[in-house]
Structure 1
């Protein structure tokens, strides 16, 4: 094992990210207020709010413990040169660059799943069960994991194999063609996620005719929004938490409502939540985020192409010979600071988009039911109501409930 300067840089980055996450988690824990915010006085009683605080503290502590264990494991694997050793074993199994990469990352991915499995099991069947959220059976949990692994192996393996193949053909300039392949997959997922991927895990049925469907269609017609499909997803099979979303573009666009949303929310509140989603469509937020994702992929592949096949990188991971696999592992660790910056930019943009979508719903005369719906979603999910501002800035893709309410309340003309 060669402890070169690059090795210590990687250790510094891994440790720095861990310490930053722990610091932000501590700040978030300290920001938790024991007093219920006045704006939510009618929705929480003291017992419910105490339960919310307990839920937050349990998740916060568990997250800190698991991230600490993952940091320790990562440092140990780097120090013993595990990735360099695995690289050598993969090349012993097959001399094919594509197959050796699939073997290498298949073992890494499977190991990661085995490590995260007890964490996810505890989250689902201990924490979520304790607070009444979990409705997933152990059989469903296991089947979901198997399906996720198969999908990851199929889609991820295909992209990885194609990327290595393109690298063998084009050398350092492979990144251009690889980007095009990833763009096609991202576009396909955006268009057909609800039609092809969701049915693997959940059942979707068309929303029946009745008051709710009529209200949604009437509002969409008044707003000049063309609706192709409205579906109900059986989210209650796994959780009591409610949600709704739009999927696809153009002719593939569909509205998806969780059955828990329909069960617990009024018609006006559901229409208001969907008006918010329509606001995203009116502002072309899906296209904007897709474009941003493409730019992010371009940046990632370009920077990766500058570091690929570097023997110094391989030495930092415990090998004397460079390889595509080791270059990718080292780059993913070195890319962390860049990923942090791009994540901040993306989260900032999505938070602004959420504010704008709220105001769109309010401009349609739905400010009050939207606020009521947001309150209900927060109460049912036991959302942390007073997160630390720094934590929000780093990690939240949506504004907090109180921030969204304050933003809407500023526009008295829309209330």
Structure 2
């Protein structure tokens, strides 16, 4: 069986990427402290700190096993030329090139989802259940899975179908049209996510009238932010973990608070967290993050256009001839290291934005209240308070808790 040089390159990329992830995971695991950091003793009593270490240890082992299984499956598919086998089986149906590509990628996506499903079930109903986080019932889990599959098939199929059509229509310049379409999608769903997508999975209701809403309105007015919509989301249906986020812009901008956040924090702390989210908007972090993401997407699509019909990719995946879907799949396997490097720009920018939003919150709300809120949220989620600096650099979109507390001291 002739694998071709690129086959070995793909295998080497997969092995090196997995190995590097394990190095970072091991460094992070060994960096856990035996004692509670002095600054966190008020929210991390000894029993909770031990529980946090147990939770991290279990997740570390789970991550190793799940990633190793995924790696072995992909390597076996490559070794046996499974993608080429699927390509040949679909040929007998006589589909047009357009539909052949969509069916091929749909089958690969479905099989990937089926592979990850047992791990998702175990993590939700065994690990998260064991540590008291999971609130989802099997019915909710099944409904979420079906909705996600249908939504992914609809939106993913639409995007891929249009990409495929651009490819037939414009040839090597398809990446420009695809970039334009991807940009429109990103802008559209960035603005309407909380009105179109989120309600499919969660219930949103306006924040009730009362002292909290009055305090939020006073803070937002001082911060120069027109507060139109603050919603409470039923996050407690699935988990006890708390969160808040900002979505959209213009008249569609919304701040969403998890109901668990309102349960875990007092009024002053909730206002401080909300001031942080407003800071992201006022400091134009959403626009900057979107711009960086669109630039990365354009660069990725341009690289894809250079290699998508390269015969070596078809040979490496065991296909008889180069095609749009084989090239897209092969490029995805090869692109992982470049994607990781590009992702660093986004994570570094995101961490910087978090510091800036914290400073904004300290200016228009209470910095001390934000500190206690961050500590409570971290402790309730059993987050690792002492991650390794390298792990933070490559994986954390938010600065570590102790670093954020130190920055707020200034």
Task: Output the TM-score relative to the length of structure 2.
Answer: 0.99
Structure 1: distance between partners of 2:95 and 2:234: 46
Q: Which residue of 2 aligns with 1:8?
A: 8
Structure 1: distance between partners of 2:267 and 2:98: 53
User: Retained in 1: the 8 A contact 2:275–2:365?
Assistant: no
Structure 1 residues 54-104: Cα deviation after superposition (integer angstroms, max 9, x where no partner) = 001000111011111111111111111111111222233233122111111
1:181-260 map, 5 Å:
181-260=181-260
Q: CA deviation at 1:155?
A: 0.2
1:10-409 map, 5 Å:
10-409=10-409
Structure 2: distance between partners of 1:35 and 1:134: 27
Structure 1: distance between partners of 2:224 and 2:377: 27
Q: CA deviation at 1:325?
A: 1.0
Structure 1 residues 368-400: Cα deviation after superposition (integer angstroms, max 9, x where no partner) = 000000001001100011111111111110001
User: Retained in 2: the 8 A contact 1:233–1:259?
Assistant: yes
User: Retained in 1: the 8 A contact 2:4–2:315?
Assistant: yes
Number of residue pairs aligned between Structure 1 and Structure 2 = 410
Q: CA deviation at 1:365?
A: 4.5
User: Retained in 1: the 8 A contact 2:206–2:230?
Assistant: yes
Structure 2: distance between partners of 1:396 and 1:315: 37
The DSSP-based 3-state class of the residue aligned with 1:43 is coil
User: Retained in 1: the 8 A contact 2:308–2:328?
Assistant: yes
Structure 1 residues 270-302: Cα deviation after superposition (integer angstroms, max 9, x where no partner) = 010011111111210000000011101100100
Structure 1: distance between partners of 2:73 and 2:362: 48
User: Retained in 2: the 8 A contact 1:172–1:308?
Assistant: no
Structure 2: distance between partners of 1:90 and 1:325: 12
4+ aligned runs moved over 3 Å, structure 1: none
The DSSP-based 3-state class of the residue aligned with 2:256 is strand
User: Retained in 1: the 8 A contact 2:222–2:364?
Assistant: no
Q: CA deviation at 1:2?
A: 2.5
Gaps of 5+ in 2: none
Q: Bigger CA drift: 1-10 or 239-248?
A: 1-10
Structure 2: distance between partners of 1:222 and 1:98: 55
* CA pair 249-365 structure 1, distance change in 2 beyond 3 A: closer
Q: CA deviation at 1:362?
A: 1.3
Gaps of 5+ in 1: none
Structure 1 residues 221-261: Cα deviation after superposition (integer angstroms, max 9, x where no partner) = 11111111111110000000111111110110011111111
The DSSP-based 3-state class of the residue aligned with 1:93 is coil
The DSSP-based 3-state class of the residue aligned with 2:44 is coil
Structure 1: distance between partners of 2:365 and 2:330: 52
Q: CA deviation at 1:323?
A: 0.9
Structure 2: distance between partners of 1:308 and 1:125: 41
User: Retained in 1: the 8 A contact 2:144–2:201?
Assistant: yes
Q: CA deviation at 1:41?
A: 1.2
User: Retained in 1: the 8 A contact 2:230–2:255?
Assistant: yes
Q: Aligned-residue CA RMSD in angstroms?
A: 0.9
Structure 2: distance between partners of 1:209 and 1:392: 40
